Structure 1
Amino acid sequence: MAQRVEELRVSAGPVVELADVSFGYTATPVVRDVSLSVESGEYLAIVGPNGSGKSTLMKLLLGLLTPDEGTARLFGEPSHRFDDGARIGYVAQHASASKEMPITVHEVVKMGRFPHVGFGRLSAEDVAIVDRALETVGMSAFANRRVTQLSGGQRQRAFIARALAGEADLLVLDEPTVGVDVESVEAFYELLAALNAEGITILLIEHDLGSVTAHADRVVCLNREILFDGPTEAFVESDALARAFGTAAAFAAGGR
């Protein structure tokens, strides 16, 4: 991990860069004139009401969608052309709620090595990387358990271990605590903080404003366009929550 962190520190330019990005599934833009730059090692949360364009923005920055206007870049390359999947760990919305994978946790985490070795036989070094990823997220004891037998929080940890096995520089999570039991949420965020301390860039969409204000270092508040982008403490003190969510949500986050 230390070598990976050092490689990341010397890389030039932002990890993510959006410039004047607009996109719509119809003639009406879902996101409009969004500019955003994320540097290596940041822990950034994107918040906004339902339908504000958060998941669409995530897909644009990952290259899953192409902007109608503006540019999106990942590690200095156009996002839709970026093909080094090993550098990105993506945990999609509701991934933790999926119960349709009749495979073991170890098999899920091994998938993280595929961008490096294809579908061939994993070497002893690859297996060691998988085992370390499981240990990092506290799932070694569940390695041979089927994913269908896990709780929501355990499944989410398995998917993060898969990203770690791929030696990702950027971890992107879309509402990761949906379907996760309340008791596991704090431990989950402690894990993200530890990974961020190791140098992994965290980009998070989260519906739980209390978790965002307690853990993220920087907040982007979105409602089709960016209403706020800055340090978490300044976000709590701003009027962005009231403009995006209404006063009740602003009170809830401010009174954490």
Structure 2
Amino acid sequence: MEEFRMSGETPVIDLTDVSFGYTTTPVVEDISLRIDSGEYVAVVGPNGSGKSTLMKLMLGLLQPDAGSARLFGQPSHAFDDGARIGYVAQHASASKEMPITVREVVKMGRFPHVGVGRLSQEDWDIVDRALDTVGMTAFANRRVTQLSGGQRQRAFIARALAGEADLLVLDEPTVGVDAESVEAFYDLLSALNEQGITILLIEHDLGAVTEHAARVVCLNRGIYFDGPTDEFIESNALGRAFGTATAIGGVQ
């Protein structure tokens, strides 16, 4: 499939003919995919379709068996500027293993910049701005274990913002989050995208995807669709990927 966008700028993510398998059977096969700066891209597909594996290949956590994966113009596995990437894991909202405050979590975003040194006033100003951006200033001194699922996700996004990330990667971030918080969460992502942050979303909630993402990649080992969200809604790509006559509104 042809790349969705082409520009003279170095893409944030650039996969060319990528295949990978944990055994001899490919999990993803012949994937070519380019994501440019400032895009809001959602990857959807059935369970076991290779979504999380594809994300790991993009970020250099896995190396392709064939083809090439590049991140900000460098081979993904060799990319070493982690501050440019903010990652929010699938189960971050359910984590109760961090008996530290929200401000301490967000402070971690500065570590790639300051190393083991003490934070300067400028660093703390960046931390506080990140908290304000995600609406968590009032919770800065509250322990993460005392937050709701949606509030925890906001704290982890604030950590990425404090690191001045250019790319925000979210792996099914609203699992375990109540419906009202989910809507507010996606409003936040849209606002961050409008500020220029590239969003890569792995998501099972197709309603959220079709309402918020500008571009959809539908995956089941290979790419069944890559293009604007409105065209995805009108296509039969989802049914082909799932191997059924599934409609957008019929998948959770």
- TM-score, normalised by the number of residues in structure 1: 0.93
Q: Out of 157, 160, 179, which is 2:157 matched to?
A: 160
Q: Counterpart in 1 of 2:71?
A: 74
Distance across 2 between alignment mates of 1:251 and 1:182: 16
After superposition, what is the alpha-carbon deviation per residue over 1:116-151, rounded to whole angstroms, capped at 9, x for unaligned?
001220000000000000000000000010100000
- The 8 Å contact of residues 106 and 156 in structure 2, kept in 1 or not, is answered as yes
Q: Aligned pair 1:145/2:146, yes or no? A: no
Identity level (%): 80
Q: How far apart are residue 249 of structure 1 and its match?
A: 4.2
Distance across 2 between alignment mates of 1:165 and 1:179: 25
SS at match of 2:113: helix
Q: Counterpart in 2 of 1:114?
A: 111
Q: Counterpart in 2 of 1:232?
A: 229
Q: Aligned pair 1:46/2:59, yes or no? A: no
Structure 1: tracts of 5 or more residues without a match? 1-10
- The 8 Å contact of residues 206 and 248 in structure 2, kept in 1 or not, is answered as no
Q: Aligned pair 1:57/2:54, yes or no? A: yes
Q: How far apart are residue 223 of structure 1 and its match?
A: 0.1
Q: Alpha carbons of 1:247 and 1:122: their partners in 2 closer, same or farther (altered >3 Å)?
A: same
- The 8 Å contact of residues 131 and 155 in structure 2, kept in 1 or not, is answered as yes
Q: Out of 83, 86, 91, which is 1:89 matched to?
A: 86
Structure 2: tracts of 5 or more residues without a match? 1-7
Tell me how large the CA RMSD over aligned residues is. Answer: 1.3
Q: Counterpart in 2 of 1:180?
A: 177
Alignment length (residue pairs): 244
Q: Out of 22, 26, 36, which is 1:25 matched to?
A: 22
Q: How far apart are residue 175 of structure 1 and its match?
A: 0.4
Distance across 1 between alignment mates of 2:169 and 2:224: 21
Q: Counterpart in 2 of 1:223?
A: 220
Distance across 1 between alignment mates of 2:39 and 2:131: 24
Distance across 2 between alignment mates of 1:121 and 1:104: 18
Q: Out of 163, 168, 171, which is 1:171 matched to?
A: 168
| Equivalent AA in structure 2 for residue 208 of structure 1 | D
SS at match of 2:186: helix
Distance across 1 between alignment mates of 2:96 and 2:249: 36
Q: How far apart are residue 250 of structure 1 and its match?
A: 3.3
SS at match of 1:173: strand
| Equivalent AA in structure 2 for residue 33 of structure 1 | D
Distance across 2 between alignment mates of 1:85 and 1:175: 21
- The 8 Å contact of residues 206 and 249 in structure 2, kept in 1 or not, is answered as no
Q: Counterpart in 2 of 1:250?
A: 248
- The 8 Å contact of residues 90 and 174 in structure 2, kept in 1 or not, is answered as no
SS at match of 1:114: helix
Q: Counterpart in 2 of 1:6?
A: none
| Equivalent AA in structure 1 for residue 240 of structure 2 | R
- The 8 Å contact of residues 58 and 76 in structure 2, kept in 1 or not, is answered as yes
Which is helix-richer, 1 or 2?
1
Q: Counterpart in 1 of 2:12?
A: 15
Q: Alpha carbons of 1:251 and 1:185: their partners in 2 closer, same or farther (altered >3 Å)?
A: closer
Distance across 2 between alignment mates of 1:108 and 1:97: 15
After superposition, what is the alpha-carbon deviation per residue over 1:64-99, rounded to whole angstroms, capped at 9, x for unaligned?
000010000000000000000111101112111111
* Of 37-46 and 242-251, the range deviating more from structure 2: 242-251
- TM-score, normalised by the number of residues in structure 2: 0.94
